[in-house]
Structure 1
């Protein structure tokens, strides 16, 4: 299965504070997030969330799915008006390699 397959869907599960990657309906990856304390600062509408960890099940590793998950999670964060602290080392490497997400990311 290719990562660019139309069956790869990323959605947000606010009840579990995570983005979920599903292939043909099966959960195969997550990015856990956590709201940073005090992220609603006076005069700012931006919510700051830390992307804590990225996990793709072993059977689906090395297919580019983590990048698909991170890209779509960052796109969602941008659309929500969130700012992201990339605690996860994979997310850190992704944003360095993709500077077009610099407007979404805040320093650790």
Structure 2
């Protein structure tokens, strides 16, 4: 399905995600565990998806680029637990300096969030 309008990306901070919208309707999202506000400056991205009806149009890349740009602008480090973001970073070398390797505590944070 072709988008009705030019898709836009919005940060839904209360839901800990970025959403890509078509004419105001969310058609995809990338979810993260927020930085804890202390010394930890990691934003752990763990899931990205775009509605199947919009697949194959590069919308996930648009979504992820905006989410990562915002993360970098906020002074946070990208932690790519999400397979899509991990692959995206490999293809966009200019973002790799802002990424941190996935550590055990990152995976634990994702598991805790899923359990809540």
Common fold: TM-score over 0.5: yes
Q: How many residues align?
A: 101
Change (3 A) 1:25 1:73: same
Residue in structure 1 matched with residue 38 of structure 2 by the alignment: 40
RMSD of the TM alignment (CA)? 2.0
TM-score (norm 1): 0.84
TM-score (norm 2): 0.78
Identify the structure with the greater helix proportion: 2
Contact 2:5–2:23 (Cα < 8 Å) also in 1: no
Contact 1:77–1:104 (Cα < 8 Å) also in 2: no
Which aligned segments of 4 or more residues in structure 1 are displaced greater than 4 angstroms? Answer: none
Runs of 5+ in structure 2 lacking a partner? 103-116
Runs of 5+ in structure 1 lacking a partner? none
Residues 74-93 of structure 1: pairs in structure 2 closer than 5 A? 74-93=68-87
Which digits, 9 at most, give the CA deviation of each residue in 1:15-74, with x for residues without a partner? 11100100121100000000356x732xxxx62111010010111111111111111111
Change (3 A) 1:6 1:106: farther
